């Protein structure tokens, strides 16, 4: 099923569901939903848009502001913390500004598969992190995380084994855990703004970068790149977060409706990401736009990265504990 077909089906389901939505005692709730990505990514197509339609019949009037119009993830995180923004979907490592340990949720090779990243918040170790986040940052995580995708390395250097990362300039977001991620592979971390990544690859400022397969295709990053290496080094699922002040202003029915809608959106996004990844890979194999390398020595790469994260970092003990929790 094509992504456009799935989108229509999701919208129809949302409309049908709304016809039997219960009445709510609280007055209409106005809220702004900040999102980093543009309107074509699965986060918006399969998550945000139908979620807003569902919540309209549960007494919510939500204004979605996408494409980073409210600022970077760091800025939106601050806005949620200060109560200036009611809700957002934000990478967990962004909250390292308040607490170092939460960075661990974005550490390379923490997860073996998508099921683990979707279930990680249920572990006692992660629950303790989220409880602390609410206390120190005034940010509450609700529902299930939204899958961004399985991240892979792409660019203009062919990589098949750990030694191939030597002297490779790898673009990473400017967060400590992402910088450590590049180091864990043996690459040279090179922070570059997301908006400048295309040009950075095109001009050779960086040799490689990393992102989920659908994002590489949707953002046309495959144009300045020759190779996509299926490293699967990180599976990112972003938490749906709300300002604790906003949450406490809601009655129990609205809190439950928002939680249910966030979780339902998470399930739809996961399906859409899987479909988009399959379609993108099939397209590359058909048109030869990039060379997909899937026979790299993933065991050796994974072992080296996990060893890096397992000792010497502020969250290494938490990394090891989460690995045990998820087994």
Residue range 227-277, pLDDT digits in tens: 999 999 999 999 999 999 999 999 999 999 999 999 999 999 999 999 999
Asked if pLDDT for residue 18 goes beyond 50, the answer is no
How confident is the model at residue 38, as a pLDDT?
Answer: 85
Mean pLDDT, residues 24-30 taken together: 73
Both tokens assigned to 285: 């194999």
Q: Say what the pTM is.
A: 0.88
26 band by pLDDT with thresholds 50, 70 and 90: low
Cα(11)–Cα(204) distance, rounded to whole angstroms? 42
Predicted local confidence at residue 27, as pLDDT: 72
Q: What is the DSSP letter of 69?
A: T
Q: Which pLDDT belongs to residue 194?
A: 85
Nearest alpha carbon to residue 36 among 244, 227, 236: 236
Q: Nearest Cα to 243, choosing from 8, 124, 76, 17?
A: 76
Q: Where residue 11 falls among pLDDT bands split at 50, 70, 90?
A: very low
Q: Range of 254's domain?
A: 3-326
CATH number of the CATH domain containing 77: 3.40.190.170
The pLDDT of residue 7 is above 50: no
- For residue 181, is pLDDT > 70? yes
- The number of angstroms, rounded, from the C-alpha of 145 to the middle of its chain's C-alpha atoms is 8
Give the mean pLDDT of the chain: 92
User: Which positions ≥6 away from 125 have C-beta within 8 Å?
Assistant: 318, 321, 322, 325
The per-residue pLDDT for 144 is 94
pLDDT tens-digit profile of 103-141? 999 999 999 999 999 999 999 999 999 999 999 999 999
What is the count of structural domains for the chain? 1
How confident is the model over 297-312, as a mean pLDDT? 98
Whether 210 contacts 151, CB under 8 Å:
yes
């Amino acid at each position: 099923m094509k992504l456009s077909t799935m989108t229509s089906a999701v919208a129809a389901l949302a409309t049908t569901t709304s016809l039997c939505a219960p009445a709510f005692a609280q007055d209409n709730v106005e809220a702004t939903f900040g999102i980093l990505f543009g309107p074509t990514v699965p986060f918006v197509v399969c998550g945000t848009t139908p979620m807003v339609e569902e919540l309209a019949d549960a007494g919510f009037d939500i204004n979605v502001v996408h494409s980073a119009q409210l600022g970077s993830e760091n800025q939106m995180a601050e806005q949620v913390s200060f109560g200036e923004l009611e809700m957002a979907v934000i990478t967990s490592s962004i909250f390292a500004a308040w607490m170092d340990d939460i960075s661990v949720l974005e550490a390379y090779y923490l997860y073996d598969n998508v099921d683990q990243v979707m279930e990680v918040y249920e572990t006692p170790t992660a629950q303790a992190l989220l409880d602390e986040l609410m206390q120190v940052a005034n940010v509450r995580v609700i529902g299930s995380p939204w899958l961004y995708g399985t991240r892979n390395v792409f660019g203009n250097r062919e990589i098949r084994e750990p030694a191939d990362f030597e002297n490779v300039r790898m673009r990473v977001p400017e967060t400590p855990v992402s910088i450590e991620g590049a180091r864990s592979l043996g690459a040279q971390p090179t922070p570059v703004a997301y908006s400048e990544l295309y040009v950075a690859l095109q001009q050779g400022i960086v040799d490689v970068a990393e992102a989920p397969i659908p994002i590489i295709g949707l953002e046309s990053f495959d144009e300045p790149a020759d190779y996509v290496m299926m490293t699967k080094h990180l599976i990112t699922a972003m938490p749906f977060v709300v300002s604790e002040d906003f949450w406490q202003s809601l009655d129990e029915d609205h809190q439950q409706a928002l939680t249910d809608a966030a979780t339902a959106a998470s399930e739809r996004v996961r399906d859409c990401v899987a479909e988009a990844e399959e379609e993108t890979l099939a397209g590359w194999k058909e048109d030869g736009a990039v060379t997909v390398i899937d026979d790299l020595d993933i065991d050796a790469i994974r072992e080296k990265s996990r060893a890096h994260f397992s000792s010497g970092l502020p969250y290494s003990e938490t990394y090891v504990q989460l690995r045990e929790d998820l087994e």
